[in-house]
Amino acid sequence: EIVLTQSPGTLSLSPGERATLSCRASQSVGSSYLAWYQQKPGQAPRLLIYGASSRATGIPDRFSGSGSGTDFTLTISRLEPEDFAVYYCQQSVTSPGTFGQGTKVEIK
């Protein structure tokens, strides 16, 4: 089973700042099978990025993904108030399609 480790656990930032979230895999997942999700309290997760760097439908361009192999990054260029949430990475190159433990982006 591929283990995904996200860092940091919590990111305390102010609106307008840049957020950089990391996801490291225990073995290569290539670049086609890494996705990022956003989850707000009381809501289902929402797909942000698939294939490591492609934005899902309707996702603002302040969200961007990069990386391949074992190291991936989600960047939010300028945090908006609605971006404070928990973010998960997920791999689907092998079954089971494991999630990282999440990074909480909170208001500083």
Partner 1 sequence: EVQLVQSGAEVKKPGESLKISCKGSGYSFSSYWIAWVRQVPGKGLEWMGMISPGDSDTRYSPSFQGQVTMSADRSIRTAYLQWISLKASDTAMYYCARLGLGSDHWGQGTLVTVSS
Residues that bind partner 1 (CB under 8 A): 1, 35, 37, 39, 44-47, 49-51, 54, 56-57, 88, 90, 92, 95-102
- In this structure, are residues 70 and 81 in contact, taking their beta carbons and an 8 Å threshold? no
Q: Please, which residue, 11 or 49, has the CB nearer to partner 1? A: 49
CB < 8 Å & 24+ apart, contacts of 93-100: 93/2, 93/28, 93/29, 93/30, 93/32, 93/33, 94/1, 94/2, 94/29, 96/1, 98/1, 98/2, 98/3, 98/4, 99/4, 100/4, 100/5, 100/6, 100/23
CB of 91 to partner 1, least distance (A): 9
- Name the residue nearer to partner 1 (CB basis): 19 or 48: 48
Closest to partner 1 by CB, 30 or 45: 45
For the CB of residue 72, give the shortest distance to partner 1 in the complex, in Å: 13
To partner 1, the closest distance from the beta carbon of 12 in angstroms equals: 19
User: Taking the complex as a whole, how short is the minimal distance between the CB of residue 45 and partner 1, in angstroms?
Assistant: 6
